[in-house]
Structure 1
Amino acid sequence: MSFKLAIIGRPNVGKSTLFNRLAGRKLALVDDTPGVTRDRRSHTAKLYDLEFEVIDTAGLETAEAASLAGRMRQQTETAIEEADLICFVVDAKTGLMPDDRAFADIVRRFGKPVVLVANKAEAKGAQSGFLEAWELGLGEPIGVSAEHGVGMVDLRDAIVAAIGEERAFGEDEDEGEAFAAEPLIGEDVSDEDEEAIPAYDSTKPLRIAVVGRPNAGKSTLINSLVGEDRLLTGPEAGITRDSISVDWDWNGRKIKLFDTAGLRRKSRVQEKLEKLSVADGLRAIRFAEVVVIVFDATIPFEKQDLTIADLIIREGRAPVLAFNKWDLIENRQELLAELREKTTRLLPQVRGLQAVTISAETERGLDKLMDAIEKTHRVWNTRISTGRLNRWLEGVIAHHPPPAVAGRRLKIKYITQIKTRPPGFVLSCTRPEAVPQSYIRYLTNELRQAFDMPGVPIRMVLRASENPFAGRAKKRT
């Protein structure tokens, strides 16, 4: 983008609402509760003829550096350092607060162009708060309503005046929006001919979501991968609320990492804000390709861990298990054997799951994790020619024929692959509703083993072959 704009201000002044307005999508969680946003989030934005990158930040609060609020403030200050232009938001409805004046002094010290925005200007009695904003000494306030889209033209003009026309309308040096050109994850791909099956492209962008229970180390893992304190971390459980995307380059391959809120048992999720966080995390899972399920190695395979894994498998994503906090384990060999046995026994839906022991804190095992992710993604994109599939099917049926149901033998005629991501197959057979699930599982497991497809969901659909004479009345002679 031509420039970066950071939206800052004290909690609950409408920063995330303005961020969503500029981004054109409801990306950031919005609630009346102060302090909803904790991590900084960036996204491409468009305001009429302006195109730029907008950064949403946590509300500025006065607190000790080691506290959660203090760490949130450090994230905001990092965003200010990265930005070319600062959008300082105040609440015109409530008027100026002491924190507004204190943080205005902090903004001045950075010496960057500032646009002062008086949000909620549509509210009754907001005029007095709008006039108070002049006292901050940051220039003329722009009255807007981020929720209703009022005052966006004035905001656009103020941005151009603050940063200059040359910078505001400058050409983007990097036109290659690799992720924007990607199709939606989960869409069926067209069926290629046997000779035209493409090889796996290890340079294409990849989307990875990191999920797990609260306090399993998801944000710490992403920070260790990207090599910076990009996400807010700490000993407190449930720090992450929004699903934050982080762009990263790994061995020349563009990666988009999604950090998600910790997923607790459904019965424990009562507050509205946590429900929004969980829903945001589920959306990240659906639009990811590979999902890394982070387990706490000190208490692995809790019931919620298995529920999360089952959800990802049912969604058809490519799962990878990461047993974090391995540096805290003493009897490692014994626990490793136990984890392997439990993985096979407790997650039988997908045989051969990739599982890696890591320590996000000490950055141990991260290379193995990325290798496992690429291997799983390669399998997830597997396409097999129809000829190979039917030669395999002929041998499997000869070894173990379909059972007879109600005294009539079931016949399986042919198989073909209809999609990838995950691999999906159609079996043409007689009486598909009568085929036992045990036989479908047998075919799925044999298919997984024969074509080396461990660790990803496989979809198997049964269809009856069309009868060309169906529906025709018998002619009388």
Structure 2
Amino acid sequence: MALVNSLGSPTTKLANSHHSAHLARIMRPQVIIIGRPNVGKSTLFNRLVGKRLALVDDQPGVTRDRRVGQASIANMEFDVIDTAGWEDEDAASLPGRMRKQTEASLEGADAVLFVIDSRAGVTPLDEEIARYLRTNDVPVVMVANKAEGKEGDSGILETYALGFGEPAPISAEHGEGIAELFEGLWPVIGAKAEEAAHTPPTTEELSDEELLAQPLKLAIVGRPNAGKSTLINRMLGEDRLLTGPEAGITRDSIAVDWEWKDPATGDVREIRLIDTAGMRKKRNVTEKLEKMSVADAKRAVDFAEVVVLLLDATQGLEHQDLKIASMAIEEGRALIVAINKWDIAEDASSLFNGIRFALEEGLSQVHGMPLFAVSALTGKGIDQMLGAAFEIRETWSKRVPTGALNRWFDDALIANPPPAPKGRRIKLRYITQAGTRPPRFVVFGTRLDALPTSYERYLVNGIRRELGFQAVPVRVVLKSPKNPFKKN
């Protein structure tokens, strides 16, 4: 996404779990978008958050999990939740489980946007949804979408029979009728929205220490059916994300804010967990919707601070896993590898050592990457993995004092002086740390275009080994002073 706002801020409570987190307060009003498939719920969601965050396609059933974004209409700010299309299917089926997720979204909601397709008019399924909503105490604002032109006039009139008052006729695709939507929402959530009008500072305005105090942005990535959603549900202690035996259930990248109690210290720490769609080999991804899901997952990696690559213990490490890991490293993210389904792994010790060796061989960009055996079924290894995620974020965010950095640099040059190609010396003068997250360094000198790649690797490996940047990507840029006599 860039996902800075797209992943929203749902908060969840642990119940009957080996973790002990509590429900964090969400001050912004929560508004749920509900309707049958293909009435334009995700298009409306994207319109309200001001970005194309939810996947949108002509085929019904694209959205499967709840997705949260920060919305604003005329300075009325609220959290808006996109939900799966409401279908009348068996509770055990995938559409039935999607409906259960939608029903769960109503808990704690401040308002519902009940969306119908005004061109299609009120259908029997719309009437069923209306009956269900009348059994809840959540205020309902009726929304007649696709109301541009005159084709939706009759459908708009039909909505009065559902018993939710005057509808807001809109066109989510073209941005029409947002003023009418505001008029419908303001009496319901306006007072609470005014109380929550304070906007927190962006990450660009925060110091390194303040960034570390922010919730850890942790993305779970991997191939389809590795158990990403199941693992997150285990952490949360509830069925927050849709799971099942079908591969590729997750399509959108979904974030859940959560509080985790570190058993080692007793501290309660905030985490934003990001579930992503499974990433198959590129040649196997042919459908438009899956391509969109994979692109969405890649943007989730951009948003994250730490990425957990989840492997399936029954399948081991495959080339596709290394490609996903390389993508995360190239984006400068801190990376952890977790082997899921450890409770059913065969020859576990040999498997663990084999995967560690393959990672060291296949990912030469980083060494000493944290590797954990976990089980989404039993909860094994989850606390250790999360503790390591906070530690590696600190490393990823670390800044080395200039004096210590240049003392290391001088020692490195003495131990292994730069080469002198064709008898001409390459002079490396000093080094500075240009940034963090990931750590970035600039080396100043002359004739740097002649410096061999092997010597650059020597410097990068030294920074990792001697300055404590093991297991995180390190960037080194070479910079020569401008020649005042050189013509432009």
For 2:256, the aligned partner's letter is V
For 1:233, the aligned partner's letter is T
What are the within-5 Å matches in structure 2 for residues 42-121 of structure 1? 42-121=68-147
Q: 2:460 aligns with which of 427, 441, 444?
A: 444
Aligned position for 1:168? 190
Q: Does 1:228 align with 2:238?
A: yes
CA distance in structure 2 between the aligned counterparts of 1:450 and 1:176, rounded to whole angstroms: 43
Higher alpha-carbon Rg: 1
Residue 228 to residue 9, structure 1, CA distance change in 2 (3 Å):
same
For the Cα contact (< 8 Å) 1:389–1:415, is it kept in 2? Answer: yes
For the Cα contact (< 8 Å) 2:77–2:197, is it kept in 1? Answer: no
Residue 383 to residue 245, structure 1, CA distance change in 2 (3 Å):
same
What are the within-5 Å matches in structure 2 for residues 77-476 of structure 1? 77-161=103-187, 163=188, 167-170=189-192, 181-183=202-204, 203-250=213-260, 251-467=267-483, 470-471=485-486
Question: Which stretch shows the higher mean deviation, 275-284 or 169-178?
Answer: 169-178
Percent identity (aligned): 51
Aligned position for 1:193? none
Residue 463 to residue 16, structure 1, CA distance change in 2 (3 Å):
same
Question: Which stretch shows the higher mean deviation, 312-321 or 273-282?
Answer: 273-282
Residue 19 to residue 380, structure 1, CA distance change in 2 (3 Å):
same
CA distance in structure 2 between the aligned counterparts of 1:330 and 1:176, rounded to whole angstroms: 53
CA apart distance, 1:49: 4.3
Residue 244 to residue 13, structure 1, CA distance change in 2 (3 Å):
same
For the Cα contact (< 8 Å) 1:39–1:72, is it kept in 2? Answer: yes
Residue 248 to residue 172, structure 1, CA distance change in 2 (3 Å):
farther
Aligned position for 2:23? none
CA distance in structure 1 between the aligned counterparts of 2:367 and 2:28, rounded to whole angstroms: 48
3-state DSSP class of the match of 2:107? helix
| Aligned-residue CA RMSD (Å) | 2.2
CA apart distance, 1:367: 0.7
Residue 110 to residue 347, structure 1, CA distance change in 2 (3 Å):
same
Greater relative contact order structure (CA < 8 Å, 6+ sep): 2
CA distance in structure 1 between the aligned counterparts of 2:90 and 2:330, rounded to whole angstroms: 44
What are the within-5 Å matches in structure 2 for residues 6-25 of structure 1? 6-25=32-51
Aligned position for 2:9? none
CA apart distance, 1:32: 1.1
3-state DSSP class of the match of 1:239? coil
1:15-35 Cα shifts (integer Å, max 9, x gaps)? 111112222222211111101
3-state DSSP class of the match of 1:264? coil
3-state DSSP class of the match of 2:477? strand
TM-score (norm 2): 0.88
Aligned length: 455
For 1:12, the aligned partner's letter is N
For 2:114, the aligned partner's letter is F
1:236-282 Cα shifts (integer Å, max 9, x gaps)? 11111111111112343322222111111222222221222122212
CA apart distance, 1:201: 7.1
CA apart distance, 1:365: 0.6
Residue 200 to residue 343, structure 1, CA distance change in 2 (3 Å):
farther
3-state DSSP class of the match of 2:46? helix
For 2:255, the aligned partner's letter is S
CA apart distance, 1:466: 4.5
For the Cα contact (< 8 Å) 1:202–1:253, is it kept in 2? Answer: no
CA apart distance, 1:133: 2.1
Question: Which stretch shows the higher mean deviation, 6-15 or 129-138?
Answer: 129-138
CA distance in structure 2 between the aligned counterparts of 1:175 and 1:51, rounded to whole angstroms: 7
CA apart distance, 1:305: 0.7
1:199-228 Cα shifts (integer Å, max 9, x gaps)? 697533321211111111111122222222
For the Cα contact (< 8 Å) 2:332–2:437, is it kept in 1? Answer: yes
3-state DSSP class of the match of 2:203? coil
TM-score (norm 1): 0.90
For 2:56, the aligned partner's letter is V
CA apart distance, 1:452: 1.8
CA apart distance, 1:389: 2.0
